[in-house]
Amino acid sequence: MDGVFVTGTDTSVGKTHVSCGLANALRSQGVKVAVRKPIEQRCKRQGGAFYPADGIALSRAAGKSEPIDVIVPYRLGHSISASRTAQADSGEVRLEQLVAAVHAGPADAFRLVEGAGGFLSPLAADGNNADLAGALGYPVVVVTADRTGCINHVCLTVEAIERRGLTPLAVVVNVADPQAPGAGSQRDDLAALLSVPVIAHSHGHEDWDASMGVVRLLRG
């Protein structure tokens, strides 16, 4: 396997946190990792330019081995919506540019690619996250938040992944407070419904066991 695509059931479900954990775990196994977030939205301006907070976190997790412009080539100050063509400072962004951005850099590095928003969320002028994942052909890790409604969202996302001929590698359920009553119950329910491995992850913490669980799946 030469890469993995990390998607979410929605925005702000913890994709970057999970991706950073995966990058750290892969590096601990001697894997050379090239992290990519081709488009980052909701960037704040700093010094006249958009600051990619998620991309910076990914860069740190990967050991700061590449320039941030390679990790996050396209940055937006707004959220991507179906009614708005994806725009960056350089103009319209198209799917072929995002694919090229993922493949840029060292050819021998494992690609860890984080999408923006949910699997079917618009990502470029001519495609969405699913289109990018399909063009890359990588297995997909689905990240969701441990909250009411996530079962429906996860099942729909896994079904969409499979319909496109892609492999749903794992579902990672971000548990905000592992000590709270009922914490992790969504993971148990999803595990009973899906044939895909479902892993609980303590959000906001360095959950090494969860990250290594996904890495073991990647390495077969």
Give pLDDT, residue 195: 95
Give pLDDT, residue 11: 85
Alpha helices (runs of H) in 72-207, residue ranges in sequence order? 95-103, 129-136, 150-163, 185-193
Task: Identify the residue whose tokens are 């914490």.
Answer: 183
Give pLDDT, residue 83: 42
| Regions of the chain where pLDDT drops below 70 | 79-91, 181, 204-205
Q: Is 37 a catalytic site residue?
A: yes
Give pLDDT, residue 79: 65
Give pLDDT, residue 133: 98
- For the chain, the domains span 3-218
The partner residues of 72 in beta bridges, in order of sequence, read none
Give pLDDT, residue 129: 95
Select which of 32, 37, 44, 64 is catalytic: 37
Give pLDDT, residue 88: 56
Output the CA angle 77-80-130, nearest 5 degrees: 135
Alpha helices (runs of H) in 62-184, residue ranges in sequence order? 68-71, 95-103, 129-136, 150-163
Provide the 3-class DSSP secondary structure of residue 207: coil
Would you say 39 and 80 are in contact if contact means Cβ atoms under 8 Å apart? Answer: yes
Would you say 187 and 200 are in contact if contact means Cβ atoms under 8 Å apart? Answer: yes
Give pLDDT, residue 140: 98
Give pLDDT, residue 87: 57
Sign of CA dihedral 147, 218, 29, 55: negative
Give pLDDT, residue 89: 55
User: What residue type is assigned to position 111 of the chain?
Assistant: R
The fourth-level CATH superfamily of domain 3-218 is P-loop containing nucleotide triphosphate hydrolases (3.40.50.300)
Give pLDDT, residue 9: 95
Would you say 171 and 194 are in contact if contact means Cβ atoms under 8 Å apart? Answer: yes
pTM comes to: 0.93
Would you say 154 and 122 are in contact if contact means Cβ atoms under 8 Å apart? Answer: no
Would you say 6 and 37 are in contact if contact means Cβ atoms under 8 Å apart? Answer: no
Region for 56 from its dihedrals, namely left if φ exceeds 0, alpha if ψ lies in -120 to 50, beta otherwise: alpha
